[in-house]
């Protein structure tokens, strides 16, 4: 009888232990799953909000705003074949029609959005610059363009961007390390190759980067070359195939905010794709206007015809074709940028060489519908 | 029946009731989640329609502009006509705008004085679960006659 009772007590304890463990595992799993779902929910909601804000920002030109978000780590990436995404945890979204130039990683609970209108000479789209107050920007150089960029980012923006200017690369040693998670140097008139950034030696190489901006004098600095650099040990070194180009200063700002060459080049490729379609639209519109005004033998017909249908210099078609080439392969060379700029803005006194902007001024003079 | 057997039966009964309650609670929670998910889908669709409106409203492809200054809620008639030609005839254009407008339908109807209709974009789907329609009053500008017409921008968004 005693033996039986002892077995029963032992069995009860075993039973309670097994059932207890099962119940414990069950609730632990539920809690873990719930935590996972909550994190995923926050990530999805932040991604959706960023998407909506980016679309809104891209709809209004020349605006800046600072947005509060939950403290998450957002990664923005562009692959070599230009698959552009932004990602929080395991959730990601594809960037389709918005051109967002940003560091490859955004940390902290604030996002800075700034947009600039990109027109050549007609409006194509708004370029969106996205960054964090925890990224430091250092302008190196004191040329006119360097001062212009510094004053634009320092006082021209209504948002607190961590920015400072140093006249020469030698002054970089005076830049204090304030624990920003990324540092971007922007060189004007100096080659960053071999420049020491020893105070940031402990930071990961990919988080201390630089670009060199070499503006082209023939286009009033509206086109130019950009070279990407990254820290190696304690000096800056050029990135492999890191040379690219800009068309208009708005694109130059795009390079300044892009964390790496892929983010810049892929956004520009997408922007040129859009330029191609918008150009074709203006081509169709100019043909429609040309037909209407030619039928009435009005003076403006000549300007529409120059814009769309001049065999020797079909301005809009030239821009469209160059844009198509660059949407396929970017970067190509600086000459393509200069050619496009010339077709758009040339102020030549020879009528047959005038750019689209000049032709548009002529039709305005005659009170005809604008070309764009 | 022995006492130990009765005790065992009680324990089993309690456990069965306990797990029944857990399963019932879990299925209740799952159903609530399902319902919330459907609601969220609906909210997303509404957000999507706002996004499409924002895009269509500010796209340089349609907007009126005078001396480089764009005018809100104004659509250039010749741009609309040029866009119709573009999306119909040019290779790759429709694919490009599918990324932008998704499964939706966008058209502009002139209400006064004429009754012209501009088919901007059509990627409607046959079998859909939700459909949201929004109509926004706009002006349509004729650049040659320099006259404005009253129109309606119709956006329909579909979701499976």
Q: Could you tell me if B133 lies within 8 Å of chain A, comparing CB atoms?
A: no
pLDDT of residue A1: 54
The answer to whether A139 and A169 are in contact (CB under 8 A) is no
> Please, which pLDDT band fits residue B1 given cuts at 50, 70 and 90?
low
User: Which residues on B lie below 8 Å from A26 (Cβ)?
Assistant: 22
Which stretches of chain A are assigned E, i.e. beta strand?
Answer: 64-68, 74-78, 84-88, 91-94, 99-101, 105-106, 110-119, 123-131, 135-140, 162-166, 182-188, 208-215, 223-232, 235-247
**Residues A60-71: tens digit of each pLDDT:** 778 888 989 888
Q: Per-residue DSSP letters for B93-147? A: HHHHHHHHH-SEEEEEEEEES---EEEEEE---SS-SEEEEEEEEEEEEETTTTE
The contacts of residue B72 (CB under 8 Å, 6+ apart) are B57
pLDDT of residue A2: 63
More confident residue, A83 or A148: A148
CA B35/CA B31 separation, integer angstroms: 6
Q: Is 90 exceeded by the pLDDT of residue A78? A: no
Q: Is 90 exceeded by the pLDDT of residue A128? A: yes
Q: Could you tell me if A203 lies within 8 Å of chain B, comparing CB atoms?
A: no
Q: Per-residue DSSP letters for A198-265? A: GGGTTS-GGGEEEEEEEE-GGGTTSEEEEEEEEEETTEEEEEEEEEEEEESHHHHHHHHH-SSHHHHH
Average pLDDT rounded to a whole number, residues A105-109: 91
User: Which of B144, B145, B146, B147 to mutate: most A Cβ within 10 Å?
Assistant: B144
Q: Using the beta-carbon criterion (under 8 Å), do A8 and B4 form an inter-chain contact?
A: yes
CA distance A274 to chain B (A): 9
**Domain boundaries in chain A?**
42-260, 270-365
> Please, which pLDDT band fits residue B17 given cuts at 50, 70 and 90?
very high
**Residues A256-281: tens digit of each pLDDT:** 999 999 999 999 999 999 999 999 99
Q: What percent of chain B has pLDDT over 70?
A: 99
Exposed, middle or buried: residue A209 (CB in 10 Å: 0-12, 13-18, 19+)?
Answer: buried
**For B125, phi and psi rounded to 5 degrees?**
-115, 150
The answer to whether A229 and A242 are in contact (CB under 8 A) is yes
Q: Is 60 exceeded by the pLDDT of residue A212? A: yes
**Domain boundaries in chain B?**
3-159
Q: Is 60 exceeded by the pLDDT of residue A145? A: yes
Nearest to A192 by CA among A152, A224, A155, A239: A239
- In chain A, how long is the greatest CA-to-CA distance? 121
pLDDT of residue A56: 78
More confident residue, A16 or B31: B31
User: Which residues on A lie below 8 Å from B67 (Cβ)?
Assistant: 364, 370
More confident residue, B1 or B84: B84
Q: Is 80 exceeded by the pLDDT of residue A97? A: no
> Please, which pLDDT band fits residue B132 given cuts at 50, 70 and 90?
confident
Q: Return the bridge partners of A136, or none.
A: A162, A183
Q: Is 60 exceeded by the pLDDT of residue B11? A: yes
Q: Which two tokens stand for residue A147?
A: 């001062």
pLDDT of residue A88: 87
Q: Using the beta-carbon criterion (under 8 Å), do B70 and A119 form an inter-chain contact?
A: no
Q: Using the beta-carbon criterion (under 8 Å), do A59 and B96 form an inter-chain contact?
A: no
The answer to whether B109 and B151 are in contact (CB under 8 A) is yes
* Start-to-end C-alpha separation, chain B: 60
Average pLDDT rounded to a whole number, residues A140-158: 92
More confident residue, A42 or B87: B87
pLDDT of residue B53: 86
Across the interface, of B60, B61, B82, the residue whose CB is closest to A288 is B82
**Residues B28-69: tens digit of each pLDDT:** 989 998 998 888 888 888 888 888 888 888 888 999 988 888
User: Which residues on B lie below 8 Å from A364 (Cβ)?
Assistant: 67
Average pLDDT rounded to a whole number, residues A176-202: 95
pLDDT of residue A336: 94
Return the minimum-mean-pLDDT range out of A157-161, A249-253, A285-289, A291-295: A157-161
User: Which residues on A lie below 8 Å from B143 (Cβ)?
Assistant: 289, 369-370
């Amino acid at each position: 009888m005693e033996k039986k009772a002892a077995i029963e007590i032992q069995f009860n304890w075993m039973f309670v232990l097994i059932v207890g463990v099962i119940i414990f595992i069950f609730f632990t799993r539920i809690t873990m799953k719930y935590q996972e779902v909550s994190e995923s929910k926050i990530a999805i909601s932040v991604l959706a909000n960023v998407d909506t804000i980016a679309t809104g920002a891209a709809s209004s030109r020349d605006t800046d705003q600072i947005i509060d978000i939950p403290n998450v780590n957002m990664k923005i990436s562009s692959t070599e074949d230009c698959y552009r995404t932004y990602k929080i945890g395991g959730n990601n979204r594809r960037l389709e029609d918005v051109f967002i130039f940003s560091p490859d990683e955004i940390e902290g609970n604030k996002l800075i959005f700034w947009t600039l209108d990109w027109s050549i000479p007609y409006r194509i789209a708004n370029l969106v610059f996205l960054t964090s107050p925890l990224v430091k920007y250092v302008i190196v150089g004191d040329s006119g363009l360097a001062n212009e960029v510094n004053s634009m980012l320092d006082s021209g923006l209504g948002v607190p961007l961590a920015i400072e200017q140093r006249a020469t690369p030698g002054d970089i040693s005076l830049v204090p390390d304030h624990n920003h998670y990324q540092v971007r140097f922007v060189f004007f008139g100096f080659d960053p190759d071999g420049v020491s950034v020893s105070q940031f030696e402990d930071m990961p190489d990919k988080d201390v980067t630089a670009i060199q901006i070499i503006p082209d004098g023939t286009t009033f600095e509206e086109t130019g070359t950009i070279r990407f650099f990254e820290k190696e040990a304690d000096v800056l070194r050029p990135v492999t195939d890191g040379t690219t180009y800009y068309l208009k200063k708005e694109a130059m700002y795009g390079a300044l905010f892009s964390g790496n060459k892929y983010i810049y080049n892929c956004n520009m490729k997408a922007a040129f794709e859009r330029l191609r379609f918008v150009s074709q639209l203006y081509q169709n519109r100019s043909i429609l206007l040309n037909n209407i005004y030619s039928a009435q033998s009005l003076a403006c017909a000549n300007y529409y015809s120059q814009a769309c249908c001049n065999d020797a210099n079909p301005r809009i078609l030239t821009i469209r074709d160059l844009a198509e080439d660059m949407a396929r392969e970017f970067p190509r060379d600086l000459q393509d940028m200069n050619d496009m700029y010339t077709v758009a803005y040339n102020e030549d006194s020879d009528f047959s060489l005038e750019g689209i902007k000049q032709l548009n001024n002529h039709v305005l003079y005659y009170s005809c519908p604008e070309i764009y | 029946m022995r006492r130990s057997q009765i005790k065992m039966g009680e324990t089993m009964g309690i456990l069965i009731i306990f797990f029944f309650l857990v399963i019932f609670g879990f299925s209740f929670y799952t159903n609530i989640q399902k319902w919330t998910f459907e609601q969220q889908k609906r909210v997303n669709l509404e957000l999507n329609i706002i996004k499409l409106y924002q895009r269509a409203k500010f796209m340089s492809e349609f907007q009126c502009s005078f001396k480089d200054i764009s005018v809100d809620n104004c659509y250039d008639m010749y741009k609309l006509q040029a866009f119709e030609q573009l999306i119909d005839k040019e290779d790759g254009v429709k694919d490009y705008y599918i990324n932008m407008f998704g499964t939706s339908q966008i058209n502009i109807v002139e209400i006064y004085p004429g009754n012209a209709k501009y088919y901007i974009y059509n990627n409607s789907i046959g079998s859909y679960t939700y459909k949201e329609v929004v109509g926004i009053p706009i002006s349509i500008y004729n650049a040659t006659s320099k006259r404005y017409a009253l129109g309606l921008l119709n956006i329909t968004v579909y979701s499976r």
